[in-house]
A and B are shown apart, each in its own frame.
Chain A
Amino acid sequence: MAKRPVLIAVCALALTAGCQVRRAANDHARQQILYTAISSDPQTFNPILVTDAYSGEILGDVFESLIRINPVTTLPEPGLAEKWEIAPDQKSIIFHLRRGLRWFDGQPLTARDVLFTLDVIYDPKVPNSIRPGLLIDGKPLKAEAPDDYTVVMRLPKPFAPLLYAIGIPVIPAHILEPVWKAGQFNHSWGINTPPSRIIGDGPFRLTRYVQNQFVRMERNPDYWMSDEHGVRLPRLHGKVVQIIPDANATYLRYQYGQIDIYSPRAEEVLDIRQKIKTGRLRAKLQEIGIDTGERFFCFNRNPRHYVKNGVTDPKLTWFTDLNFLRAIAHSIDKKGIINLVYHGLAVPAVSDVSPANKLFYNPNLKDYDYDPRLAAEILEGAGYHMADGRRVDPSGHPIEFNLTTATGSPEADQICAIFKQDLGNLGIKVNYQPLEFTTLVEKVESTFDWDCVMMGLTGTIEPNDGSNFYRSSGNLHLWNPNQKTPATPWEAEIDRLMDQGAFEMDPSKRAPYYWKIQQILHDQLAIIQTVRRKDYVSWTDSLENYRPKVWGVYKPEWMQFKVD
């Protein structure tokens, strides 16, 4: 009697048994097409309006700049400009463009395009992230083009970071100038623009974009670069950048051979290493260096947060007391963090500049070693005593503060848990509360309502790019932003050193200024360092000439698949 229901149930199960998808063998390597992944859709195809990392990553292949930075030497090297000269007074730079450069539509790329690009960037109505880097003492530089292949830039005063800041994507005047004049620049080249209408000059051009799925690019046959045998580059015939929001899914697809390049997290490094050893994954794995970013703790020293109705919160006293800060620095178990959080694949961070930044990293700083006993001694010596199992300051206030960081990072959670535990052992109570990133930013940037934050900033080669962070007037000067005049002598000193470093044109004479800044930050403990990750990259075996570095890929145009 009950046979029919059983039958129906079986049919239902059978329906769900799966379908066979017939597909051509995955032969993108044979076609010399590189598959990579990013975690989010691009927001714009207009290289001037880029404010997110993903658009930047895609457009980096489509738009070329005057000069580029060599990721191995971290020095500028020729791009669209085949050479440049700095005038003896150091206040003007002459760029000589290559001959025969062409846009995708065949129009010649000339000095006029460079001037137009600068005009757009300096247009106050165009919100862009390039302008601040090109303002020298708040003033724009003046550019002129004596002929089609020469651009002369005149600076109000010598400005060394210019060579790093001038790596701007050049845009075609013949297409965008009318748009800009019509006041429509901010709405031009959005992601709804047909990719074929994005006219660039880089090694690849966009051919297709499907929202939430992929961006496809093909080789630009007219690209100016050629290899040692005179063969035009790039060697790859195309690229497909997939949009995969979930990191685990990305890793899975890498293992399935659907992505050619992957930057693994610590656990995944171990997994890949294991799989390569047992032959389950045919790939290479390489440590490419120490990450440019670090994670640090920062205490709020902003009087606006602590002084209310004429009463100063004792926290301000602790957080500006060097003894207190030194005790904190000595109680961060960097080795523990490295082992527990990063599986040993990290190094202690000492300076705010990464050792990967060979030009500016100060190797002479002495780390604050993990030493709970010393930390306790320092606290005792400075009058912070234990009372009823809690640490109290000289005027009897128990020491307790809030610690926050952005949600969504298990690593940050773990580092904070370790920190909390170590300070707990000193009798200091830490209230840990991670916040949504946007909320955290509002607190740090606008309301200043926080005690201690753990965060990370990515590093750049040119220290002047970090002006907002170093200078007391900067809005990223986390511990006390937007100061009218420097609150402390050492902050004034940093401001002065930033000026001197920027206006010194001789590269070898610049480093000492920045070394000094690192020394001051290290001594004053404005930010308390934790660790830096070691960066790894893994890529499929058949990919050749792929040379990843922490600052980018070296000679990416030479990449190709080995086909047998």
Chain B
Amino acid sequence: MTRFLVRRLLNMIPLIIGITLISFLAMSLVPGDYLSNLKMNPKISPEVIHQLQAQFGLDQPLLVRYVKWLWGVLHLDFGYSLQYRVSVTSLIAARALNTVILAAASMAFAWMLAIPIGIIVAVRQNSIWDRVLSFLAFFGMSIPNFFLAFLMVYFAMWMGKDWLPPGGTFSVDYNSLDFANRVADRINHLILPVFVLGVAGMAGLMRLMRSQILEIKNSDFVRTARAKGLSERVVIYKHVLRNALNPFVTMAGYSLGDLLGGAALVEAVMNLQGLGLLLLNAVRALDIYLVMGSVLIGTVLLLVGNLLADMALVAVDPRVDFSSMASQ
């Protein structure tokens, strides 16, 4: 296991360097820099722009800046956001937490609904429930999540002040609330985005669960179990379900990465203070160190998610072990 971990972690290093370098180059393809934002202000003279460029180190050659940034990262210094004038670390820490909470809650929501429903429709294959729910699953998979977000924002506005908040991460008076109410406030603000993000994931998971169960239900060992005279309930819960869940463990890790990326648009529509929106605005404002920091964190989260997924797979599936994983 140690060998596997070391190998995977070592593998991450060139990946991270590659990704950050590509992102850095892509950002530099855009003409201008953050200070271009100031150039249309009649009160700010070109000399001031030059001074600020020097102050922020934006006048240095591209590769020098990249190497300096990388060197800083090695010392856990992620640089300085030009837009917010604070360290990138402090900005990202707050937003990453929001995004992870959102992603985790959406996943939990999707799973808690998808798995039981998947079981129901599989057990009653071709019943009216199966047809209706399968159709709804396709419906959920096909509705663009930002479109759903529009509808939800509009619906919440139409419902008015006493229903769920149509956007934002917390209320105006969040800081004056006590802890319990803060939690409640956060949960209130999470419900609609979680619903929006969860619907698509739920639909896909439900389809997968259904086909998994159908496949295993007809396999030999299940037939043996039935022949032994076990009740259908025991067969389903003890034998079929346990085996059907294996691919989900892998999916959990991977879908974490998906949610991190896919949430950006919903964050934009629903005005959630997450990594996606932060990065989106940073890209637009050419706030380069903030972009690099977010890309780095996003990548690391993604890679760690994948790693955890693989480790979990080893834990639940006796057919897979670390040596076979490491040699992949």
Q: Which residues of A pack against B, CB within 8 Å?
A: 1-2, 4-6, 8-9, 11-13, 15-16, 18-24, 26, 35, 41, 43-44, 51, 125, 127-133, 186, 190-192, 210-214, 242, 244-246, 248-249, 252-253, 256, 258, 436-439, 441-447, 455, 457, 460, 465-469, 475-476
Contact = CB atoms under 8 A, between A and B. Distances in A.
B328 to A, nearest CB: 35
Return the 4 tightest CB-CB contacts between A and B, nearest first: A5-B116, A19-B184, A12-B112, A442-B32
Contact of A438 (B37, B84, B176, B271): B37
A282 to B, nearest CB: 14
15 contacts: A9-B112, A15-B112, A16-B194, A18-B187, A21-B185, A190-B85, A192-B86, A211-B91, A212-B94, A242-B172, A439-B32, A442-B31, A455-B40, A465-B42, A468-B45
Interface in B138-180: 153, 157, 161, 164, 166-168, 171-177
Interface stretch (B2-10, B57-65, B117-125, B290-298): B117-125
A445 B194 CA distance: 44
B181 interface: yes
Contact of A132 (B45, B55, B116, B177): B45
B43 interface: yes
Given A246-B167, A439-B32, A211 B86 contact: yes
Contact of A213 (B124, B175, B232, B284): B175
B195 interface: yes
B233 interface: yes
Contact of B44 (A11, A51, A252, A442): A51
B195 A16 contact: yes
Given A18-B164, A469-B42, A44 B177 contact: no
B39 interface: yes
A131 B30 contact: no
A245 to B, nearest CB: 7
A211 B91 CA distance: 9
Contacts of B119: 2, 5
Nearest to B165: A252
B101 to A, nearest CB: 14
A35 B172 CA distance: 10
Interface stretch (B46-54, B216-224, B309-317): B46-54
Given A1-B233, A2-B120, A191-B86, A249 B168 contact: yes
Given A245-B271, A246-B271, A476-B40, A438 B285 contact: yes
A375 to B, nearest CB: 30
B109 A441 contact: no
Interface in B102-117: 109, 112-113, 115-117
B85 A129 contact: no
B191 interface: yes
A56 B233 CA distance: 69
Given A18-B187, A21-B181, A125-B51, 6 more contacts: A8-B116, A21-B177, A129-B41, A214-B172, A436-B284, A438-B31
B278 to A, nearest CB: 10
A246 to B, nearest CB: 4
A438 B30 CA distance: 9
A9 B32 CA distance: 52
Contacts, number: 178
Nearest to A42: B85
A249 B167 contact: yes
Nearest to A406: B40
Given A9-B116, A190-B85, A441-B32, A213 B271 contact: no
Contacts of A6: 116, 120
B243 interface: no
Most chain B CB within a 10 A radius of its CB, from A15, A16, A252, A457: A16
Contacts of B34: 438
B27 to A, nearest CB: 11
A466 B168 contact: no
Which range contains the number of B residues in contact with the other chain?
35 or more
B273 interface: yes
A242 B45 CA distance: 30
B67 interface: no
A547 to B, nearest CB: 26
B30 A210 contact: no
A133 B43 CA distance: 7
B32 to A, nearest CB: 4
Contact of A9 (B113, B168, B184): B113
Contacts of A467: 42
A22 to B, nearest CB: 6
Nearest to A1: B233
A23 B177 contact: yes
A296 B41 CA distance: 16
Contact of B124 (A2, A128, A444): A2
Given A9-B117, A12-B112, A18-B188, A442 B181 contact: no
Given A132-B45, A186-B55, A249-B167, A439 B31 contact: yes
B286 interface: yes
Nearest to A127: B51
B315 to A, nearest CB: 23
Contacts of B113: 9, 12-13
B48 A128 contact: yes
Interface in B83-102: 83-86, 90-91, 94
B230 interface: no
Contacts of B177: 21, 23
B84 A41 contact: yes
Contact of A214 (B31, B46, B175): B175
B285 to A, nearest CB: 7
A475 B47 CA distance: 11
Interface in B208-247: 232-233, 236
B38 interface: yes
Contacts of A455: 40
B48 to A, nearest CB: 4
B271 A436 contact: no
A44 B85 contact: yes
B268 to A, nearest CB: 9
A43 to B, nearest CB: 5
Given A21-B188, A43-B84, A44-B85, A442 B175 contact: no
